[in-house]
Structure formats: structure tokens, C-alpha cells
Structure 1
Amino acid sequence: MREILLTSSVLILAVLLLRRAFRDRISRRAQYVLWALVLVRLLVPVSLPGADFSVLSAAEPVGRTVTERLEQREIYRVPLAPSPMGTAPQVTSPAPQIEGGGSPSGEAAAPSGGEEAFSYPVIRERVVTAADLLTVLWLIGIAAMAVWFLVTNLRFWQKLRRTRAPYAAENCRYPVYLVEAGLPSPCLFGLFRPAIYLTPAVVTSPERLRHVLAHETAHARHLDPLWSLLRSVCLAVYWFDPLVWIAAAVSKADGELACDEAAIQALGEGERIPTAKRCCP
């Protein structure tokens, strides 16, 4: 986990710098694809090959020190059930000896320290360290974020199903629905069967409708519902990392710009200004 956090943070900062440095030199689609590197680093728990000097090797002493302190700092001791039979220290008493090293009964003398042994229950306890506490908090955060994302999407889906009505759109390969109220902007929703949802303001103008359909169709071609799901997984697992939240927000904006670019290519250069006005108010 420590390695993933460090390398992903460096990668996020590098992508942000590359976007800023080459904003006008590479396509919006290429800028959007750069975030796939961050996604893979966050979701694939593999160790990177070692090097004589790297960010990992430079930060290793600090990371090791922090980990050791967290594991050694005691927070609480949890008493556990005593074991049924624990062995107490052996206590001996001298036994009669006869010449030749034997006992009066002719048996070999018991070794020193070997008297009658007795057993009693041993009280056991588990030490809770700071590392244990942070792990529990991390897992609670993951569960809370996962439930929040799930409930939010299910409620949105139920709302769409209650208020949508089929809309006949020409030359569109995806189902199109009109939502009369409650939808702030057009969207593409659905992981396995994506559909386009329109607002009443969109269908009042054929030109605006054409722009919206081209934009939302580009979302479907780019598999943005899947990327949105993976972004949510990253946010749930790394809910405590502000850089991951920044990366999620910026990558989502890059996805919108990539769809604007694709819509312009599909509709022609003459549609550049109207499309930009619609998607980037």
C-alpha cells in the first residue's frame, strides 16, 4: 500500500504537469488517456522493479520508520479468553538420593528442576496498535463510500425510470429518452445498456439536439460509464487521499473535453463554437 500511494501520487502530479505543458499540443483524447496510467497504478497492486535510486528508494527510510512507529505504538489491550490449560513454571523439591546416583526405588533421579508440575489457565490479551486502528478506519471508510456510491446511483436510476419517456432520435444507435423534469443536464447512463437522457430544453432546437447526441454518443464510444465506475472504485479505496479526488475531478473534465472534440470531428469544424458553448458554459 505504501508503494502504491507514493508512486500514484508522483504519477498524478506528473500527469497534471503534462496536461498543463502540452495542453495545446496533444489532443484532448490523448490527455484523457493519460489518466488510464493512474487508474492502473491505483487498482493493480504490483511492485515496481527496483532501481539504484528512485522515489521509492529515497522515501523507503521514512516509510519504514513511520510504519514501525505505528506498529509499535500501543493503543489498547484487548483481553482474550484464557486458554484451558497453561503450563506454569516447574517447581522442584529435593528427592532422596542413594549412592550411585539412583533413587530409593531404583529409578533414575529426576533432573534438577523437575518436580511435580501443575497447570493453570493463562490470561491472554491482544495489543491493538495505531496501525491496527488505522486499518479499521480505512476499511470503514471503504464500506461507507461504496454504500454511498451504490445508493446514489440506484436512486438516480430509479428516478430516471419513473420520469423518462422514449424519444425518437434519428441516426442514433443508442436508446434515447426524454426526462421532463428533475434532470439538470443531458447525460449517458447505464453500464451494460447505456442510454441517452435528454432535457426539454435540448429538444427545442434541432441544432442543439444534434450537438447533444453527438457528445453523448462519444461518451458511449469512449466507454465512459466503465471509466466512471472505476473512478468510483478508486475513490472508495483511496477516500483519504486528496490527490486521488483531484485526479478523479480533472479526469472527468478531460473526458468531457474529449467528447467535445469527438463531437466536433463528427459534425464538422463548422460546429466547433456551438458545441463548445453547450459543453463548457
Structure 2
Amino acid sequence: MDWQWLTLTLNQTFTWTLYNSIEASILVILILLCQQLGKKHFPIRWHHAVWFLLLWKLAVPWSIDSTISLYNWLPTSAWASIQEAHPPTERIILASEALHPHESALQPDGSLANEASFSWISLLSLIWIGGVFTFAITMTLSTYRLLSQLKNDVFVQDEAILRVFSQCQKQMGITKSIPLRVSHQLTSPALMGIWRTQIWLPENLLDKLNEHELRHIFLHELAHWKRRDIPVNSIMSVLLILNWFNPLLWYAASRMRQDQEMACDALALTYLQESEVPRYGYTMIKMLELYARPKQIHFTVGFSSSKKQVKRRIEMIRHFQKRAYTWTLSGIVVVMALGVFTLTDAKKALGNEQAFVVPAEGESRRDFTDPTILSIINKLNTPVKAAAAGKVLKAEYNIKMGNQVILEHEGGYQTVYSHLEKLEVTAGATVTQGQLIGLLGSTGRSTGPHLAFQVLENGIPVDPTKLLADIEAKE
């Protein structure tokens, strides 16, 4: 597999991840703002559910273009700073080379080394992928070590405890068999396992809690299972690995966990009588005294939390009402509004889209190595014209691509014209759409007269046939 193709793919993946992470950061700020403003108006369940917008934003690689997307109104696109680290000319040259692996093979290694340019975006991409592997290996090893330590833990045999647990399952309508185990390693109760879910209890916990307190613990852990929090936390952990460089997302994940505990408290409280609600709060205080510093483990959910978080949870319990776990119309409207404005991509207003025309007459074929390269075959010296108005970034000879012209256009687009017989423009010149920029030829590493035409959007090669409405390219 060609290393240049791998480099281009890595650069594209990192660039998309970075851009998506920037947009996700804006969503995090909006979520925190809405939570703060709606602290007394939105139900507890809403405060956790709104974080699913962030999960969607980070996990789904595509979104609908919309003229009302929040990102249309940003003063500067996040792409601008990304492009500054990787100049358009260099970016296009690297893309052109990477997308012509069959031609690269014809070029001597020495020439390739001499033509290689230092790329900041490539360096950042390598640092990013290195961090991804480091975090992935670290999390995997820590999870594996924990599971290895827990595999020999014994199952709870006390009939009284099992009876209380069974009553809690029945009360919550859970028919799945969820084993109870006693752990020497964990410092607080924890629910673990996506497929084979089990509940682990600290070894000394059973002797320090009475039947009512154990019931509160069981209701809370079963609330995690009923809400499917383990898969959610697992997905978030994977997304954090991919976005390890963004501290705001790590903070958001921490806040999401806190809101998750609040939501579980609210769900557990719905199964208690009103007179039992204060006792649930006392159980939490007792758990904090027993396990002041619970160990947070990826891919699990637990009961205890920090003193600050417990204070917040106690305050919620003190004012708890059954409707605290139900949706409100205002909460639904806010979530939908955030989704419409932040889960969509920026799109230019109608009438302002960049329009491209076919740059030369002839038979158009997709390059067999990559569909983003369009080969236009015709006679030598066939006129080649600018596909759109723009500025000439480069007009010079390249040992591999021959005479080459690179134009920059509005909207983050660039077009590349390679293997020209003659150049009719110079770098720095401004051209209009349809203006002559060169003559079709067979210079550089070429097997016959043709124009190698490419379109890049924000530095990423795209299928030119989707922008050229008046062309039908053959495969």
C-alpha cells in the first residue's frame, strides 16, 4: 500500500476529527449554558439526555447541510486555522502526488525525497494517531487488569441479600438475571458488563448497610442497567480516545457522568414511597463516608461520587418530585433546537454556491486509482480553461505532473490542472471563469495527451463530477 496514500488518508481523517471536535466544543458550551439557565426549569432526566446530542455529533461522520446551521454564522471557519498550518499550494501538491500512486512508482526515490515538503498537518496527524493508540492501549490494559482481578470474586450467597435484590428487580420490571458478586478490589458498588452484566459490591459493604440501605444501592445500580448507561459510557470512552486532544470534551464527559448519576437517582426515587426519599439521601451520605474517593473505571457505572457531586445530588433529592423524571415540552423544544442548529453542517445561502464548468473538451474518464481524479482525453494543444474564477497559486513545471496550474476559488475550493503542454498564466494572476490557462498536453509522467483535473474542498479531494453538472464521466 502506497505510503503517500496512507499519509493523505490520515491527514483527511485527522482534519475531519479536529474540525468536528471544534464544532462539538461549541455544542458543549451551549449545553452547559442551557443547563445553567434551565437548572430549575428542566427535569433531571433532561440534564443527562441532552448530552446525547454530543454523542451524536462526535460519533456520526455525516450531517445534513442547512442554511440555519449555527456554523454558517461563525465569524471565521475552523477550517481557516487548519489551512494556515498547511498552505493550499503544498496541500494540493501532496494530494496530487498521493492520488497518482501509479505515477509515483515511476519516479526515482531520490527525486521524490527532493520534492517532499515539510507538512505541519502531517506532523499533527502523526501526533494525533500516536495519542489515539496510546490512550486505546492504556484503557484496554487497565480494563483487562481489572477484569482479571475480578474474575475470581465470589457470588453473593446470603439469602436475605438476594431476596432484597430480587424484590428490587421485580419492582423495576427487570427479568434479566443479573448476578451479585463481592469484590476485594472495588471501593464502591459498580455495574459492569455490556452483554453479561453483573453487580459488584465491596467486600465490607454488606456488613455496614442495613436492608433499607442495600435496597437503595440495588435500585440505583439497576437504574443504571435499565437506562443502558454502560453502553453509553463505553461509546463515550471510545470517542474520548479519538478526541483525546480536546480538554473540553473530557470535562463534558465528566459532567455527563455526574448528570447520569443524578438521572439514576431520580429513576430510583420513583420506585420509593415519599417517606423513603430522605432515607435514600442518608444512604448516599453514608456511602460518601465509607468510600470518600471512589475509583472511576472506564466502561462501568458506579454509585458513589465526590463530595461536591453528593451535595448536588442531596439537593436534588430534597426537592424531588415524581415529575422530575418526566419530559417537559420546554425541554423537548430546547433539545430539538440544539439539534437543528448544531447537528447540521454549514451551507451557503442559495445562489452563492461555487459553480464549475468543464475545463476542456474531450472524453472524460475517472482515474482508475481514485474517483476524485478526472482525466479529459483530447488532441494535443486543446484549450484548457479555468473551471471557475479565482487566483493562480501556481503555474510551473513539475517533474512528475508536468506543466501544472493550481487555482484558488471562493468557498475553500482549489482546482488542479496537470500535464499541460503550455502554460498561459503566471502565479499571482486573477482569472475569470472560462479564461484560457493552458494547452492540453502530455508533459511529466504521462502516457498520452490528456488533462488530469482535480477539485479540492478545504484541502480534501472531492469527486469533480458532482460539481460539474454538464459532464458524464466514464468509469
TM-score range, shorter chain: 0.7 to 0.9
Q: Distance in 2 between matches of 1:45 and 1:268?
A: 45
> How big is the shift at 1:271?
2.4
Q: Distance in 2 between matches of 1:190 and 1:267?
A: 27
Q: 1:202 aligned to 2:213?
A: no
Using a 3 Å threshold, how does the CA distance of structure 1 residues 49 and 181 change in structure 2: closer, same or farther? Answer: same
What does residue 41 of structure 2 align with?
Answer: 25
Q: Return the letter of the residue paired with 1:203.
A: L
TM-score by length of 1: 0.76
Provide the alpha-carbon RMSD of the alignment.
Answer: 2.8
What does residue 74 of structure 2 align with?
Answer: 58
Q: 1:71 aligned to 2:74?
A: no
Secondary structure at the counterpart of residue 274 of structure 1: helix
Using a 3 Å threshold, how does the CA distance of structure 1 residues 41 and 207 change in structure 2: closer, same or farther? Answer: same
Q: Which has the higher helix share?
A: 1
Q: Return the letter of the residue paired with 1:227.
A: V
Cα contact 2:181–2:200 (8 A) shared by 1: yes
Aligned match for 1:12, one of 18, 28, 31:
28
Secondary structure at the counterpart of residue 124 of structure 1: helix
Q: Distance in 2 between matches of 1:37 and 1:84?
A: 46
Q: Distance in 2 between matches of 1:52 and 1:256?
A: 34
What does residue 244 of structure 1 align with?
Answer: 249
**What are the superposed Cα offsets for residues 116-135 of structure 1, whole Å, 9 maximum, x if unpaired?**
xxxx9962223230000001
Aligned match for 1:188, one of 176, 191, 196:
191
Q: Return the letter of the residue paired with 1:14.
A: L
Using a 3 Å threshold, how does the CA distance of structure 1 residues 262 and 53 change in structure 2: closer, same or farther? Answer: closer
Q: Distance in 2 between matches of 1:29 and 1:136?
A: 40
**Residues paired across the two proteins, number:** 241
Using a 3 Å threshold, how does the CA distance of structure 1 residues 85 and 121 change in structure 2: closer, same or farther? Answer: farther
Cα contact 2:19–2:79 (8 A) shared by 1: no
Q: 1:231 aligned to 2:236?
A: yes
Cα contact 1:165–1:177 (8 A) shared by 2: yes
> How big is the shift at 1:267?
2.1
What does residue 102 of structure 1 align with?
Answer: none
Q: 1:156 aligned to 2:172?
A: no
> How big is the shift at 1:48?
4.3
> How big is the shift at 1:147?
1.1
Q: Return the letter of the residue paired with 2:119.
A: T
Cα contact 1:11–1:38 (8 A) shared by 2: yes
**What are the superposed Cα offsets for residues 14-33 of structure 1, whole Å, 9 maximum, x if unpaired?**
11112222223222222111
> How big is the shift at 1:179?
2.1
**What are the superposed Cα offsets for residues 226-245 of structure 1, whole Å, 9 maximum, x if unpaired?**
01101101110100101110
What does residue 175 of structure 1 align with?
Answer: 178
Q: Distance in 1 between matches of 2:211 and 2:61?
A: 48
TM-score by length of 2: 0.47
Q: 1:44 aligned to 2:34?
A: no
Q: Distance in 1 between matches of 2:217 and 2:62?
A: 40
What does residue 123 of structure 1 align with?
Answer: 111
What does residue 137 of structure 2 align with?
Answer: 147
Q: Distance in 2 between matches of 1:244 and 1:25?
A: 25
Using a 3 Å threshold, how does the CA distance of structure 1 residues 157 and 260 change in structure 2: closer, same or farther? Answer: same
Q: Distance in 1 between matches of 2:109 and 2:22?
A: 47
Structure 2 stretches of 5 or more lacking a match?
1-15, 91-103, 170-175, 285-303, 305-309, 312-475
What does residue 264 of structure 1 align with?
Answer: 269
Following superposition, which runs of at least 4 residues in structure 1 exceed 6 angstroms of deviation?
Answer: 83-86
Cα contact 1:6–1:56 (8 A) shared by 2: no
Using a 3 Å threshold, how does the CA distance of structure 1 residues 230 and 64 change in structure 2: closer, same or farther? Answer: closer
Q: Which moved more, 1:234-243 or 1:164-173?
A: 164-173
Q: Distance in 2 between matches of 1:39 and 1:121?
A: 45
Secondary structure at the counterpart of residue 118 of structure 2: strand
